[in-house]
Structure 1
Amino acid sequence: MSIVPVWKPSKETIEQSNIFKMMQKKGFDKYQDFWKWSVANKEDFWASTVKNLNIQLVENYTSIVDISKGVENAEWLKNAKLNIVDSCFQNDDDAIAIIFQESGKELQKVSQKQLLELVNKIANGLINLGLKVGDSIAIDMPMTLEAVAIYLAGIKAGMPIVTIADSFTPNEIEVRLKITEPKIIFTQDVLHRAGKEIPLYKKVVASNAPKAIVLKSSKENIELRNEDLFWDAFLSSKTEFKTVIQKPDDIITILFSSGTTGDPKAIPWTHTTPIKSASDGYYHQDIHKNDVVCWPTNLGWMMGPWLVFATLINKATIALYYDMPTGNGFGEFIQNTKVTMLGVIPSFVKYWKTSKNMEKYHWNSIKCFSSTGEVSNADEMNYLMQLANNKPVIEYCGGTEIGGGYVTSTVVQPNIASTFSTQALGGEFVLLNDNHNKCSKGELFLIPPIMGLSNTLLNRDHYKVYYKGTPTFEGKLLRRHGDELEELENGYYKAQGRVDDAMNLGGIKVSSVQIERVLNSLEFIKESAAIAASPENGGPSLLVIFYVENPSHLIENQRLQQAINCVKEKLNPLFKVHDLVKIEALPRTASNKVMRRSLRDLYESK
């Protein structure tokens, strides 16, 4: 298979793109001039974008953004009234909203009308249980038709959704439930993964969850707690439901992102956050009406809600495959559903390249890929491009507290593997060195206001986390994010990992402190420091543990295996310990803070 290092857009690709249409409207010939306009004229850009996406407003806004309380407290769609779910149902009734496949079964298609009726049945079921506007609901499920419908139904009924990833351990589920106190939780009896059935309801029960609504996916009988209900007993037969209309800053979703102090940050999304998701999908992933969008993910990660809004608001079809995205069944699913935009995390691509198992499928319908969650490897991304006969990879990096990306690629610029070609439209950032001077490689700071940026945290002081102590740039208040980027000579960007104590593992953000807290319970560890090391040739970070020894009879291999098992069982089975390194003492600053960056440099220089 030949490797093409750079993809260049054809005149036809450029002229069919959503970006080009907007450039034409605003009188721009060059993309870079258009981006500059989008940040110099944010009000005009975002007002035009709200119009492009046809966001359904019951009452119009008096101003697109109000910064009278400071850019850190920007109010978007001031005085408007809406429910963002109404904007997810703008296609034809018989248009396909979701196409899905359970492993080994036939493809199934759900029209927009059928999805809306299911959403309404669920919303009525919530009311029948006695829930009220403002009550929160948790979802701990795989990404299925029902999960998407529950998610939309809760928001439509004015009930914020607490999203929990189905891979979490009972400990991690319980932490999230304690922070958000949902009235009920939706879950499934088991997960189906590569021919195995993995208990999910049992994990939910072990986490001291509230009343559970349980979808049955296995033939095995399961016994529910007295207060719990099976899905069929919960679901209403009533297919009409009046949308609850709210203010733009009312909470629709509570997602979690690892802080650097242990417990995850609880980040609320409001009715305006999905506009950022849909905007990125419209401009950067170039999603068009009736396109088919697949991105293996979960509602517990921001890409789950992103997928729902970026696809449905743009009148496209969500493609959901119910099993692992690494097996042959997934490749056939992409082929048969004629996916036009396929999202990945680099770990998937690494597996596909090693196994070569996707090469036999015809992915000719794909117009572009998109990659997020981890630093990618150029060889692997070049390989991915060739799986669809040389299609671009839209590198995409952002955050849960952004509702989308801050740096990305486009289909109107040349595509270079593992690099970002632009700052996201409607947003701006600056790179600063340790002396707070602008530089080509340094810490990234966002320049607010940007549609989608969070204004509150449920369990932290938002200002302290994102703004306190940040430098200013050209008189502008900056917002910290924690990523390090390098700007290349051609104006493109390359990801350099994190500058803080967080890391991305398997597409999931986690703090070093969370990992260290569970590892410090092991008998042979006196204290530990977790770092994310970069592989020599680039690609996803490797989890490396430095530790100071407690005297122990365990040999090296036994210690490594204990560390692997501990992280898998107490945090997440997707986190894999790559290496365990004994050290006499952890390097510390004068204020006793562990110098993880020094450990990372030490490991990577070996």
Structure 2
Amino acid sequence: MKNQAVWFPDSKKMKQTRLYKWMQKLGYDDYDTFYTKSIENVSWFWDQAVKELDIEWYKDYDETLQSSLEWKYPRWFMNGKINVVENALGKWAKNPQTANNKALIWESDDGKDKTYTFAQLNREVHAAAAGFLKLGMKKGDIITIYMPMIPETVISMLALAKIGCIFSPVFSGYGAEAVATRIQAAKANYLITANGYYRRGKKINMKTEADQAVKSCPSIKHVIVVNRTSEQTSWNVNRDIHWDTITSNNNVVETLQTNSQDPLMLLYTSGTTGKPKGAVHTHSGFPIKAAFDAGIGMDVTKEDTFFWYSDMGWMMGPFLVFGGLLNGASIVLFEGVPDYPSSDRIWEICSKHDVTHLGISPTFIRSIMNQDTSNIDQHDLSKLKAIGSTGEPWNPDPWMWLFKNVGKERIPIINYSGGTEISGGILGNTLLKPISPITFNSPLLGMDVDVFNPEGKSVIDEVGELVILKPWVGMTNGFWKENERYETSYWHVWKNTWVHGDWVIKDADGFWTITGRSDDILNIAGKRVGPAEIESVIVNHPLVTECASIGIPHPVKGECAVCFVVLNNCSPSDELKQELLESVANALGKALKPQEIHFIPQLPKTRNGKVMRRVIKAAYLEQPVGDLSSLENVDALELIKNLKVH
């Protein structure tokens, strides 16, 4: 089916965008010509991008990019001295013209809000940084942040970066086991958490999960606790410290001049097997890529208010922080959920805080599109300039519902796809070209992208692997302490080619469509989780021998987990099924609870014992199972084919 554009750039508005003005400054009027230049000479391009973003350096870099034909570990901004906090906060707080601009707007679950100017946020960050230093934190220490979306979360991130520590945010909805796994992988020295938070009007006890997680993490020296819900929690007097105690020091702390390649953040993303992968992001990597994609790509300016509904444990949380603040914009942090206390909560927030750029997920739109649309029109969305979307593929109907009912066919939907390892996007919708439903109208500037068939040839109008052919700013600097695993994950198919793991079609008109993942990662409501994480919880039960998890389509979440369980000499029962389902919810969070568990006598495996999840998925969904020559027990598939999809 031919992709038809439904949104077209207005000539006058297009010429007012930051991207168009920048192109003209560099001597370009045509986007496609400029894109080609951006990938022909990526060193020149990112040098120009840093200048356009007005990135401040303590010491300027000698060379933009140091790379070779083997570009797995490119080095950016050689010998440059920088700290992201100076660019995200310091320079705005010091400037009288911007010091009193809104930096951070927090909206609580119950509708209360709190606003920090750049000057106020800067003082809070100073206080936290002083407290962290007094506690004994030093450059290179790793701090896990297990926090809800509250102001102290952002303050912690900036304060840690200010003193040269490495922070590692994890999803606030994770259970103790998932949190512990990430602490252990990073060997974190400290944990910052909250006693709880509010969700749908209910108190969620976070400290209990944190305590349970830390029991198996001997590397943790102290746990810093924010008192969000004003209720007593368990307390270890030798380990736990109140946030208010940490931030009671008003000493001014000098921002550390870090090297451009110094680690800033570890973001853990799930793999198909084994423990999560720790993407390593630097002071001159993730923040600059996020700032570029938001500021130049999405046209976020100092006058704008940027709100992306996410959690700090997912990539778009840090993207919101750095993509917004480095551009001098206000950012909105939301503790609650988008449909509580009613389905118009998101639109209410947009109206209340004059949001100009909103980021949401297809899952949310699918969940509300059958409801009355009159509650959208009662909110003033006139300031809204763009709607962003990432995390999972769209379906045409929800996309058009959003475009018509919220965007009134005038607001562009910026489909945006990349990943934790990318620091932002690979494909997107530029505001200088027409936009068609569910697709992307271009690779992002500076991203040399193609679609390869199994022979490694570039193809059009054919499904293939999404690949990247040259380095980019923000590219993960390997995996934390696991570079062999990093190389296996992205570099094992074609020489000097990053294979991202997405199936993509590029059509002859230049529209790109992601059709799914080419690995076994599950994507549940935009939350990526490796099957091994779910399977590990279930197999931990004494009555379970084996488990395989797959993702299947879901009308609201986009995808949900279904597990196939082999029991250890016992009979299946509904009670056992519920027990296993709840064990996953407790360990990984309710959002990742499987939709269904099927008890089967054996799992389909290869002759060397590898469970064939793709084959299980195909059989379960009654799709072609492909080549089964390596399968040892074909009979197992027949049992799966006869199961009912719930």
Superposition TM-score, scaled by structure 1 size: 0.93
2:45 equivalent to 1:63: no
Moved beyond 6 Å, runs of 4+: none
For 2:250, the equivalent position in structure 1 comes to 238
Moved more, 186-195 or 493-502: 493-502
Alignment of structure 1 residues 139-154 onto 2, 5 Å = 139-154=145-160
2:575 equivalent to 1:567: no
Give 2:382's match in structure 1, choosing from 331, 341, 364.
364
User: Shift of residue 503 of structure 1?
Assistant: 2.1
**Aligned to 1:73, what secondary structure does the other structure show?**
coil
What is the letter of the counterpart of residue 213 of structure 1? I
2:493 equivalent to 1:470: yes
Partners of 2:104 and 2:117 within 8 A in 1: yes
2:141 equivalent to 1:121: no
**Aligned to 1:71, what secondary structure does the other structure show?**
coil
For 1:280, the equivalent position in structure 2 comes to 293
2:190 equivalent to 1:171: no
For 1:545, the equivalent position in structure 2 comes to 563
User: Shift of residue 452 of structure 1?
Assistant: 0.9
Q: Distance in 2 between matches of 1:231 and 1:549?
A: 46
2:268 equivalent to 1:256: yes
How well do the aligned residues superpose, as a CA RMSD in angstroms? Answer: 2.3
**Aligned to 2:487, what secondary structure does the other structure show?**
helix
Q: Which runs of 5+ in 2 are unaligned?
A: 93-97, 215-219, 624-646
For 2:628, the equivalent position in structure 1 comes to none
1:114-133 per-residue CA deviation (whole Å, 9 max, x = no partner) reads 01111111111111112222
Superposition TM-score, scaled by structure 2 size: 0.87
For 1:216, the equivalent position in structure 2 comes to 227
Partners of 2:522 and 2:529 within 8 A in 1: yes
For 1:414, the equivalent position in structure 2 comes to 434
For 2:137, the equivalent position in structure 1 comes to 131
Partners of 1:284 and 1:394 within 8 A in 2: no
Say how many residue pairs are matched. Answer: 597
User: Shift of residue 488 of structure 1?
Assistant: 2.7
For 2:458, the equivalent position in structure 1 comes to 438
Q: Distance in 2 between matches of 1:506 and 1:538?
A: 8
What is the letter of the counterpart of residue 443 of structure 1? E
**Aligned to 1:116, what secondary structure does the other structure show?**
helix
Over 3 Å counting, the alpha-carbon distance change for 1:296 and 1:210 in structure 2 is: farther
Partners of 2:524 and 2:557 within 8 A in 1: no
Partners of 1:376 and 1:538 within 8 A in 2: no
For 1:518, the equivalent position in structure 2 comes to 537
User: Shift of residue 356 of structure 1?
Assistant: 4.2
1:458-481 per-residue CA deviation (whole Å, 9 max, x = no partner) reads 242245334553213xxxx10222
For 1:599, the equivalent position in structure 2 comes to 616
**Aligned to 2:160, what secondary structure does the other structure show?**
helix
2:405 equivalent to 1:399: no
User: Shift of residue 366 of structure 1?
Assistant: 1.2
2:20 equivalent to 1:24: no
Partners of 2:503 and 2:516 within 8 A in 1: yes
Over 3 Å counting, the alpha-carbon distance change for 1:563 and 1:331 in structure 2 is: farther
Moved more, 266-275 or 228-237: 228-237
For 2:483, the equivalent position in structure 1 comes to 461
Partners of 1:135 and 1:159 within 8 A in 2: yes
User: Shift of residue 454 of structure 1?
Assistant: 1.3
User: Shift of residue 581 of structure 1?
Assistant: 4.5
1:116-175 per-residue CA deviation (whole Å, 9 max, x = no partner) reads 111111111111112222222221111221110110010011111121221111111111
For 2:308, the equivalent position in structure 1 comes to 295
Q: Distance in 2 between matches of 1:66 and 1:553?
A: 61
For 1:331, the equivalent position in structure 2 comes to 347
**Aligned to 2:402, what secondary structure does the other structure show?**
helix
Give 2:360's match in structure 1, choosing from 326, 337, 344.
344
1:39-96 per-residue CA deviation (whole Å, 9 max, x = no partner) reads 1121121011101111111111111101148321211001111111111134310111
**Aligned to 2:230, what secondary structure does the other structure show?**
coil
Partners of 2:565 and 2:598 within 8 A in 1: yes
Q: Which runs of 5+ in 1 are unaligned?
A: none
**Aligned to 2:516, what secondary structure does the other structure show?**
strand
